[in-house]
Structures are given as C-alpha cells and as structure tokens.
Amino acid sequence: MLQIFKSSDFLHTALNQVWRLFSGPLLLLLIPLYLSAEVQGYWYTFISLAALAIFADMGFSTILLQFSAHEFAHLKFENGVRLSGDEHHLRRLASLLRFAMKWSSGMALVTFPILLVIGFIVLSQKQTQVEWFIPWLIYALASVLVFINSMLLSFIEGCNSVGEVQKIRFFISFVSVVATAFLLIAGFHLYALVGALLLGALVGTSLIFRRYGTLLRQLYRESEQILHPWRREILPLLGRYALSWVSGYLIFSLFTPITFYYYGVVESGVVGLSLAICTALFGIANIWMILITPKINMLVSHHEYETLNPLFKKHLLLSLLSYLFFVLLFFVSMIFFAQELPFFARLVTPFALILLFLAWFLQMIVNALALYMRAHKKEPLVWVSLVMGLYSAVTTWLIAIYLPFEYLFAGFLSSYIFTIPWVMVLFKKYKKGSF
C-alpha cells in the first residue's frame, strides 16, 4: 500500500491556501488604488498575452508530472535528498529529467521570441501615453525563467513532493506579492508587475537548486548511463495534449485581448480584474485536488483503485464546497462594501460575474475528471477541448461585436452545456472499481 499523505503535504499546502486567501485580495485591492483605469487595462493585457506561453508548454508540464510519478512509484527518498530503489526506474527517471530540460529549453527559444513580437503587435494598436514597451520586453524575458522553473517543479512534484513544491511556490508567491505591493505603492505602475515577476523567478530558481541540487546532480549523473527514448513515448501523447492546451488558451485567455480590441483599454482592465478574482477563488478551492495529483498517478500505476476512488471523490467534493463558500463570501462582501471600496467599481456587472462564477464552478468538475483520466497516461479530452475552445472563442468574438458588454461570458458558460455530459461519458471508460 502506498503512503497516501505526508504531514508536510497538508502543512505546506494549507500554508499556501491561507496565503492566497490574503495575498490575492490584497493585490486585487491595490491595483485599482494605485493604477489608472488605462494602466490597469495594460496590466491585465500583459498577463493575458503572456498566457501564450502555453504554446511552449502545450501540456508538457502535466505529462512530466505524470511520468515522473509513475517512475517514482518504484523509488523513495533517502534523507530527503537522494533517491534509492529499483535501479532501472531510477535511470529512467534520470533520463526523463534530461529529456525534459532539453525539450523545455528548445521550446522556450522558439516560442518566447514569437510571444514578444505578438505582444508588440497587439499592444501597439492603441494610442496611449502609457509606457509599455520596456515593461513588455522585461515581462516576456522573465517569463522564460518562470517557464523553466515550472518544468522543474512539475518534475519534482511528481516525485511525491507536493509539500516541498508547495513550500517553494509559497516563497515565490510571497516574494512576488510583496514586491508587487511595494512597487505599486512606490508608483512604478507596470514596472511593478514585471519587476515582481522577474524577482519571483530568480528566487524560484535559487530555491529549487538549494533544496534539490543534490537530487538534480544525482539524476544528471545517472542519465549519462541510459538514454531512454522518451521522445517516442511522450511526443504522441504531447500532440494530443497540445490541442487541449491550445484550446485552453482559447477558452480562458482570449477575453482580455478581445475586450482590449473591441471595447477599449479601460474595459479590458475591468475584464482582467474580474477574471483574476475567479481564477484566484478557483485556485484556492482547487488546492484539494493539487494535493493529491501525484498520488492519483502513483495509485493508478499500482492499480490501487479501491484507495484512489474514495480519495478522489472526497477531494473533489471539498474543492466544490470550498469554491461555493468563497463565491458566496465575495458576493456578501460586494453587497455590504460596494460603496466603501473602489475595488468593486472596477469589476464587470453582477450579472456578468454570475455567468463567470458559474462557468468556473463547472470547470472545476471538468478539471478534476480530466486529472483522473490523464493519470492513465492518456489524453481523452482532445476533441472536447478543441470543440469547446473554438466554440468559446467564436461566441466571445460574436458577442463582442453584436451584444452588450455584460454578455461577454455567455459563450464561455454555454460551452459547458455539451461539455459536461461529453466528459462524463469519457470518464466512465477510465473509472475502475467501485465509485
């Protein structure tokens, strides 16, 4: 029987959750206070354009976590720093890390220059006094380091190190949030966003090598003894993941650029802030699923479905209940403090917020079911994601042209009408044992 949890998993994940509860709202309050409506628009357009980095990832980080978890299922840590166990799986894991770093570096060199150019084209469409050129250049370059860190953390997390990875992510977030707040208050505007991102990335790299330098050096030496053909095993799966991840960009990240183009800079800031609230609440509630992600992969590897299924159900329910609680708390706060806090005036209408919150609630269900299915080293949601992405993108574009602003998220929500039943049908094919 696999060890399902370590106490550090709960401790550090809970620490991250509590931190997000305070840091997310803090920044969301500071942005309208210290940025003009126009600069706020560029702020969130930066973030949306940077999401194009998904074309560098294309689901590789998730595959990396899954594959490292399957190999680590036959290994263990000694003194928390070195790996021991089945020599065959140790060498496979080592060669996986080498392949992952080569692949990630190559994708970064190809993708991020393209991202930089696309950003320049989009951002130059509006006449403005806002200084965005140098901040965007720094932001795009810093995103490369963030991307490489993300790959390393995905690999390490798959080695049953959720708690340690959550600890590193907490410190990165802490440094980034504190730096953002300080720079905002000091009047650095867009430089607050880019400076905090760069500082957080540098801190992340330092923490990864300080905590896991011994492990990474061990695996690097081991990888010289075997070169497993991971490309043949991973690339067919990555092709399917890529379609899903690109579709994810169409689903979640097009709202702000479309609003920037059709409605204006101020409105794009309103949409960006509203989306940030929803994703923050989703992220906090989804901690319950993040906590068990490596365990799901390891349990599938050992075919321990009697342990997996009740664990999965419990954590999905906790995620959904947590999300509903935070959404209710948000609306209560909006009712009582709408007049006192200018923050609420920078959001979309309550009707649009309801559409958005409902869509993210349904996404939490889809996300959990996808996690369970992908633990089998499969990507069954290619066509679901592709259809949903195209539908959401086209309907959002048409709404921006023909309908009032508050209906912007109607296409996003309606896409789940056919997605949820479709995903459930696919999920039944992977569900094993009593559920």
The dihedral of CA 137, 140, 141, 146: what is its sign? positive
Domain membership flag for residue 1: no
Domain membership flag for residue 311: yes
State the pTM of this model. 0.68
Q: What is the DSSP letter of 264?
A: -
CB 318 within 8 A of CB 289: no
CA atoms within 13 A on the CB side of 163: 10
* Distance between CA atoms of residues 224 and 300, nearest Å: 29
C-alpha of 214 from chain center: 27
* Distance between CA atoms of residues 10 and 166, nearest Å: 10
How many domains, in total, are found in the chain?
1
* Distance between CA atoms of residues 273 and 271, nearest Å: 6
* DSSP secondary structure of 39-99: HHHHHHHHHHHHGGGHHHHTTHHHHHHHHHHHHHTTEEEETTTEEEE-HHHHHHHHHHHHH
Q: What is the domain extent for residue 304?
A: 7-430
* Distance between CA atoms of residues 267 and 63, nearest Å: 36
| Beta carbons within 10 angstroms of residue 337's beta carbon | 11
Domain membership flag for residue 45: yes
Domain membership flag for residue 435: no
Q: Among residues 147, 160, 145, which one has the least CA distance to residue 60? A: 147
Domain membership flag for residue 2: no
* Distance between CA atoms of residues 63 and 235, nearest Å: 10
* Distance between CA atoms of residues 314 and 322, nearest Å: 12
Domain membership flag for residue 175: yes
What's the pLDDT at 310?
A: 93
Domain membership flag for residue 280: yes
Query: Which residues of the chain carry a pLDDT beneath 50?
Result: 1-5, 434-435
The dihedral of CA 363, 366, 368, 373: what is its sign? negative
Q: Among residues 272, 259, 341, 264, which one has the least CA distance to residue 40? A: 272
What's the pLDDT at 334?
A: 87
Lookup: tokens for 195: 């400076």
Domain membership flag for residue 188: yes
User: Any idea which residue has 């689901």 for tokens?
Assistant: 59
C-alpha of 368 from chain center: 14
* Distance between CA atoms of residues 3 and 162, nearest Å: 13
